[in-house]
Structure 1
Amino acid sequence: MIKKPEAIVFFDLDGTLFNSDIDVSPSSFEAIKKLKKNNIIPIIATGRTPCETIDLMEKTKINSIIGMNGQVVIYEKELVYTNSIDKNIIARIYEFSKHEMNIPLSFYNYQKMRVSENSLPTKTFYNYLKQEVPLIDDEIYLREPIQMLLLLCEQGESNYRDRFPELTFIRNTPYCVDVFNHGGSKGNGITKLLQNKGFNDVPTYAFGDGMNDFEMFLTVDHPIAMGNAVDELKEKAEFVADTNDNDGIAKALQKFGLI
């Protein structure tokens, strides 16, 4: 039987647990250690895939993730939930992107990442993340389940929303838009986790900075916006912390008495 935690804290990555150098501040590392000692479970909640966060999870000893904006949930290394996009919808959006929008795609599942082409927008985005460009495979969706797509572009996502009402489009960086099933979100992933593990009575906290954290803030008991967060998210926060470059996470966890 799984031991019920005293509380759960969800951490967005980019702009939140990561500082501007795409690294975890020493104060946040120490805070995570203290949380675990207090039987408080830290969980990553990100647009990234589990395979992108392997090194981070090893370094921080965080074993749980709400990945791909809630499209995959792993708790203490156990796969709890996935939410895959219908391959016929992927085929439609790929054809539209390739022939009408000239926008490359990334195809993500919880085990791997692939891209439709290695063009300038592709290189620009993965350089921004300080990652190698994934392998090219524009037919992976025909063989494997895909939980999230990325539009690799700086603009143009508005052309997709009416054409693909089955999907949600959220700009997550200046160079990409996250695409997943309508109704899927970090908040939905959190709900699936709490229901699956019987944790609905466990106090929940979340740190975030961007609009893909919006539903997460509506789901948890205590939403905490970083000082560098977008204004729309700050309006939904119980508390606005210091910035991701100024020990915002550690300071807020201390304020809430979690460490």
Structure 2
Amino acid sequence: MKTLYVSDLDGTLLNSQQQTSTYTNQTIEKLVDQGMLFSYATARSYYSAKPATKGLSAKIPLILYNGAFIIDNQSQEILVSNFFLKEEVNDLAHYFNQKDFYPIVYAFINEQEKFSYIPGKSTKQQLDFISTRNDKRKNPTENDLYQGDVFYVSCIASKKQLESFYHDLKDRYQCLFSKDIYSQDWWLEILPQKATKAHAILQLKDYLKCEKVVAFGDGLNDLSMFEIANESYAVENACKELKEKATGVIGRHDQDAVAHWLEKNYKG
């Protein structure tokens, strides 16, 4: 039975320094060489996931932006994509314009990945986040936020304000409302309905012709992938709700728990 192993990144495969350890990298590389089908699923982009997993160079597919894309780890080829429909983009633009709120909008513009924002109208939290992203994706604009093929919208603001947006939009889109484990800022991430870790895993499972899924995670945004997995393992530092859904609880992310489990249980 072909099995797909999928791990969340932050709080699961990454340690407290937001890195995969040498042991984790070497273990996964070795097992992939032996035939293990492995991927990680993260809210991160390729640009922020790659530095965090430096040393993990195996030819594996990566599930990024909470399922908006599946990308080849080596070639950066997009294997699967989930974009907003044009009418959905118009709906989101109308909604946020009415609320006088200006999110960070991720899209492919002229075949280049960009994130657009309005510097003079962004929240302080959004500007703080943008200041940490020093790459070619930055696309400051005066008014045209919703350019290109949009796949991801992020709002960083007060919990109260984002809670209101979440309740308004959650039945139309895939909405993830949570506190960032590093900055402690509140985020609302908005994606197309099909853009979930769970749906991307099922797409990848079909792409790789696997019969079984084993998943690892720590947060509420991992619940959907636990629900579709045949086996699911929460790290010790995971939230209570995820532990209750898990097949079992393994060690902490700082103890290379996922790599140890894989080394012990992968049979080739």
TM-score, normalised to structure 2's length?
A: 0.80
Q: Secondary structure at the match of 1:157?
A: helix
Task: Structure 1 unaligned segments of length 5 or more: list them.
Answer: none
Distance 2:242 2:70 in 1: 23
Alpha carbons of structure 1 residues 209 and 216: separation in structure 2 relative to 1, 3 Å: same
Q: CA deviation at 1:45?
A: 0.6
Contact 1:169 1:177 survives alignment (8 Å): yes
Q: Secondary structure at the match of 2:150?
A: coil
Distance 1:182 1:6 in 2: 28
- For the pair 1:147 / 2:151, whether they are aligned, the reply is yes
Q: What is the match of residue 210 of structure 1?
A: 219
Q: CA deviation at 1:108?
A: 2.2
Contact 1:161 1:168 survives alignment (8 Å): no
Distance 2:175 2:243 in 1: 21
Task: Structure 2 unaligned segments of length 5 or more: list them.
Answer: none
Q: Secondary structure at the match of 2:236?
A: coil
What is the 5 A alignment of 1:171-250? 171-172=177-178, 173=180, 174-175=184-185, 176-197=187-208, 199-201=209-211, 203-250=212-259
1:149-195, Cα deviation, whole Å (9 max, x unpaired): 11112413331244333212112524322211224311101111222
Give the RMSD, CA atoms, in angstroms. Answer: 2.7
Q: What is the match of residue 26 of structure 1?
A: 22
Distance 1:225 1:189 in 2: 19
Q: What is the match of residue 6 of structure 2?
A: 10
Q: Secondary structure at the match of 1:60?
A: coil
User: Among the aligned pairs, what percent are the same residue?
Assistant: 22
Distance 2:86 2:98 in 1: 18
What is the 5 A alignment of 1:157-176? 157-164=162-169, 165-172=171-178, 173=180, 174-175=184-185, 176=187
Alpha carbons of structure 1 residues 101 and 253: separation in structure 2 relative to 1, 3 Å: farther
**Count of aligned pairs:** 249
Alpha carbons of structure 1 residues 59 and 114: separation in structure 2 relative to 1, 3 Å: same
TM-score, normalised to structure 1's length?
A: 0.82
- For the pair 1:45 / 2:45, whether they are aligned, the reply is no
Q: What is the match of residue 123 of structure 1?
A: 127
Distance 1:163 1:6 in 2: 41
